[in-house]
Amino acid sequence: MTETDARVRLWSPVCEAVAALLAPYAEVILHDVRSDRVLGVWNPMSGRAPGAPSLLGELDRLDSSPNGVYGPYEKLTADGRRLSSVSAVLRDPDGEPSAVLCVNLDRTPLEQAATLLAAFAAPSAPRPEALFEQDWTDRVQRIVGAYVREHGRPVERLTREDRLAVVAELELAGVFAVRRATAVVARALRTSRSTLYALLAELRRSRP
Based on its alpha-carbon atoms, the radius of gyration of the chain, rounded to whole angstroms, reads 30
Q: Which of 61 and 157 is assigned the larger pLDDT?
A: 157
* 30 CB neighbour count, 10 Å cutoff: 26
The stretch 117-136 carries a mean pLDDT of 70
Strand-pair category, 97-106 with 82-91: antiparallel
Residue 59 in this model has a pLDDT that exceeds 60: yes
Distance (Å, whole) CA 181 – CA 107: 49
Go through the domains of the chain in sequence order and give each one's CATH number: 6-112 (3.30.450.20), 123-205 (no CATH)
Average pLDDT over residues 16-41: 93
25-52: average pLDDT: 91
Q: In whole angstroms, what is the distance from residue 69 CA to residue 100 CA?
A: 10
pLDDT at 133: 62
**Beta sheet of 97-106, edge-to-edge order:** 37-42, 26-32, 97-106, 82-91, 69-76
Question: What value does the mean pLDDT take over residues 10-24?
Answer: 94
Identify the pLDDT of residue 180: 86
pLDDT for 77 equals 79
Q: Which of 87, 91, 103 is nearest to 16 (CA)?
A: 103
Average pLDDT value for residue range 33-57: 88
Q: What is the pTM of this model?
A: 0.60
**Which pLDDT tens digit goes with each residue over 164-203?**
999 999 999 889 988 888 999 999 999 999 999 999 999 8
Band of the pLDDT at 60, cuts 50, 70, 90?
low
How would residue 25 be classed by pLDDT, with cut points 50, 70 and 90?
Answer: very high
Instruction: Give the whole-number percent of the chain exceeding pLDDT 90.
Output: 50
Per-residue pLDDT at 63 exceeds 80: no
* 87 touches 70 (CB < 8 A): yes
pLDDT in tens, 87-126: 999 998 888 889 999 999 999 999 999 888 888 877 666 6
Range in 41-55, 68-82, 124-138 the model is least confident about? 124-138
Q: How confident is the model at residue 135 (pLDDT cuts 50, 70, 90)?
A: confident
53: phi > 0 → left, psi -120 to 50 → alpha, else beta; which? beta
